[in-house]
Structure 1
Amino acid sequence: MAQPGDPVDWQDGQSLSECMIYMLEKEIMCDVTFRVGTEQSIIKAHKYMLASRSPVFYTMFEGSCPEKGEIIVPDINPDIFKALLKCIYSDKLEVALENISEALYVAEKYMVSTMKKECTSLLSSSAETSNAPVVFNIASHFHLESLKAKSLMHIQNNAVECLTAPNAMKISKENIEAILKLDSMSCSETNTCRFLIMWLSHQCEVQGKTASGENMREVIGSLLYLVRFPFVNKVYFAKEIAHSGLLTWEEVVSVFSSHYGRKNEFFTGSVRHSRVFNQHYTVLRHRNILRDWTPYTDVINYDALQIKVNKNIELKSVILYGPDGDVSSSDENLTVNILNNSGNEIFSQKYESCTERRELQTLNLSEPIELDSNKYFTIILVGLKFQAHYGTKCKPEYKIDDIIVTFHNSPNCNTTTKVEQGQIAGIEFNV
């Protein structure tokens, strides 16, 4: 209802949405009244506007059993309900990130697509910030899969920043599981463990329990086995975990034993990579592939090549040249060794080569290898005995996007494999 002193020209020169918002706020010609929230706050609006933007409101007012009188809305905060009305009247959403979950609930309840779109837009703008845990939680709850993936990726790439943020304590148990299942995270296992202890302490507090190891174990349940305790800092484990009651005595002994080479009986034995690699690249160094590469017969052949990449990489595969003829069973077995920049062997894998003639064949490494940027590593193909394909006019440098891969002759080589020609066709890696 218009009040004394209100301007008489509120329609003049104003946009449609500005006029409608004015009528809403001043309750001009409102024809429906809501009692909202636990306090039943009175909020008035216009049936016409609500029905025009929401199929739920349309059915409420024009369906077979239309609502009469005041409408009770007990499950929505009055401020969020007002934000819903303003969005319906103006296509603009005024809500803070901490209230987005309530806003999305309202948008879905009344099927207001514009409001849901605005909510997801705000979440998207926060998905790659320290608020990623909040976005991850909300996106998971409302099944917004692309936002869920985007925010989880940011947590993965910025684990220290995200997992130490106060809002990380509100992550749901379901989402804690998703984080603990990651094989790569940009923080140490010790930091991951610290975060989990903080989260469990908060959960105990919320449930009115003391934050004892036993209560924490009850809260986390079987997800405890996703923590890679054998790779937690030994001093931290001994001082903070071993006697806390979080683990059984058998589990504690098993972790201590794993520090001295014994296989752990309870927790995974594979390290969680501290770097996160998202983009996959395949690099082939040759311009031509020819036949009739004949290995030496009086010595063990070591076809070797040095390689460096200007980015930290996760080496996934070594691409080799395939046989150029029949291969006897005694000649099938090859070994691929990888040396680091200091010349120390960091990987060795036996490989049964393909017996069918083919130009290229890929050896997928049993474990990805993290390699530092701008440092040469060496790939050695040991024991080639059969006639094979080989590359010529090979490129000493390969560029794609901002990635530069450089090839260099290796002193470990005793064949004619070198930068310009020979064995070792390329590599596959993630950056």
Structure 2
Amino acid sequence: MRSTLGSALQLIRFPLMSVEEFAQNAAQCGLLSDREVVNLFLYYTVNPKPQVGYVDRPRSVISGKESVVSRFQRTENRWGYCGTSDRIKFTVDQQIYVVGLGLYGSVHGPHEYEVQIRIIHCGTGRTLAENDTSFVCDGTAAANRVCFREPVEILSGVTYIASACLKGPDSFYGTKGLRRIVHQAAEVTFQFTYAAMNNNGTSVEDGQIPEIIFYTAKH
């Protein structure tokens, strides 16, 4: 099989499989060496991830209009930060690509925040994407756009965690959060649930991460 595939072997998207899919199928098919199997298991489970030599970008392409789902109905102040990430779980009913998060900024006027944003796969605890960056807020209650380096593939029916760890002064926060939101234009339904432990107080009803910025997927 390896001889027939040749260089096409590196085009197989092993990194995009779940650890369960890999363990039940690819790891047992005899195509990969023991060392390659171990490296891929490490890729799924540890950070920083080892180089595995396989394509890790989805075949699907993002297209169409960018969309934003907003989960709060009003804003309040103030929300503090002490080094713990704000986190919220979400699922969708069709494949999308998340390009970033909307985050609240300072109640004290314009300010620059340092922030680490992440998307985490709940089933494995694997970080699918993260970006250590910064953003400058204008002192209003508007959400500030903070993006990943590349879009993150989100599969239908799978639970993920959106996470943001901010360093900066007290900010606005959202209240009257919605558990289920149907985004009519994008034809996507979002379900939000509580991410227990180390969430800086963020929940479905109150907190940070007011927006998820996304595209729908077309093959």
Q: Aligned residue for 2:20?
A: none
SS in 2 for 1:233: helix
Q: What is the alpha-carbon distance in structure 2 between the residues aligned to residue 294 and residue 373 of structure 1? A: 33
Rg bigger for which structure?
A: 1
Alignment counterpart, residue 9 of structure 2, candidates 214, 230, 233:
233
Q: What is the alpha-carbon distance in structure 2 between the residues aligned to residue 396 and residue 275 of structure 1? A: 28
SS in 2 for 1:333: strand
Q: Aligned residue for 1:292?
A: 78
Long gaps (5+) in structure 1: 1-193, 195-228, 237-259, 264-268
Q: What is the alpha-carbon distance in structure 2 between the residues aligned to residue 305 and residue 317 of structure 1? A: 14
Q: What is the alpha-carbon distance in structure 1 between the residues aligned to residue 96 and residue 150 of structure 2? A: 13
> Where do 1:102-181 residues align within 5 Å?
none
Partner letter of residue 357 of structure 1? G
Preserved CA contact (<8 Å) 1:313 1:370 = yes
Question: What is the Cα deviation at residue 416 of structure 1?
Answer: 1.6
SS in 1 for 2:203: coil
> Where do 1:5-404 residues align within 5 Å?
232-234=8-10, 261=51, 273-279=58-64, 280-296=66-82, 300-326=83-109, 332-341=113-122, 342-359=124-141, 360-401=143-184, 402-404=187-189
Question: What is the Cα deviation at residue 304 of structure 1?
Answer: 0.6
SS in 1 for 2:61: coil
Q: What is the alpha-carbon distance in structure 2 between the residues aligned to residue 374 and residue 319 of structure 1? A: 23
Preserved CA contact (<8 Å) 1:301 1:384 = no
Partner letter of residue 336 of structure 1? I
Q: Return structure 1 stretches of 4+ with deviation > 6 angstroms.
A: none
Q: What is the alpha-carbon distance in structure 1 between the residues aligned to residue 111 and residue 104 of structure 2? A: 17
SS in 2 for 1:324: coil
Q: What is the alpha-carbon distance in structure 1 between the residues aligned to residue 197 and residue 166 of structure 2? A: 13
SS in 2 for 1:290: strand
- Change over 3 Å in CA distance of 1:277–1:356 after alignment to 2: closer
Give the aligned length. 170
SS in 2 for 1:382: strand
Preserved CA contact (<8 Å) 2:114 2:134 = yes
Preserved CA contact (<8 Å) 2:91 2:157 = yes
Q: Aligned residue for 1:429?
A: 214
Q: What is the alpha-carbon distance in structure 1 between the residues aligned to residue 84 and residue 81 of structure 2? A: 7
- Change over 3 Å in CA distance of 1:327–1:233 after alignment to 2: same
- Change over 3 Å in CA distance of 1:350–1:358 after alignment to 2: farther
1:147-185 CA-to-partner distances (Å, cap 9, x unmatched) read: xxxxxxxxxxxxxxxxxxxxxxxxxxxxxxxxxxxxxxx
SS in 1 for 2:62: coil
- Change over 3 Å in CA distance of 1:355–1:277 after alignment to 2: closer
Partner letter of residue 101 of structure 2? V
Long gaps (5+) in structure 2: 13-49
Question: What is the Cα deviation at residue 326 of structure 1?
Answer: 4.8
- Change over 3 Å in CA distance of 1:287–1:343 after alignment to 2: same
Preserved CA contact (<8 Å) 1:323 1:354 = no
Q: What is the alpha-carbon distance in structure 2 between the residues aligned to residue 234 and residue 421 of structure 1? A: 45
Q: What is the alpha-carbon distance in structure 2 between the residues aligned to residue 387 and residue 376 of structure 1? A: 29
Preserved CA contact (<8 Å) 2:174 2:207 = yes
- Change over 3 Å in CA distance of 1:352–1:270 after alignment to 2: farther
Q: Aligned residue for 1:102?
A: none
Q: What is the alpha-carbon distance in structure 2 between the residues aligned to residue 287 and residue 407 of structure 1? A: 14
- The normalised TM-score by structure 1 is 0.36
1:65-110 CA-to-partner distances (Å, cap 9, x unmatched) read: xxxxxxxxxxxxxxxxxxxxxxxxxxxxxxxxxxxxxxxxxxxxxx
Preserved CA contact (<8 Å) 2:11 2:55 = no
Q: Aligned residue for 1:418?
A: 203
- The normalised TM-score by structure 2 is 0.67
Q: What is the alpha-carbon distance in structure 2 between the residues aligned to residue 378 and residue 324 of structure 1? A: 26
Give me the CA root mean square deviation: 2.9
Question: What is the Cα deviation at residue 421 of structure 1?
Answer: 0.7
SS in 2 for 1:315: strand
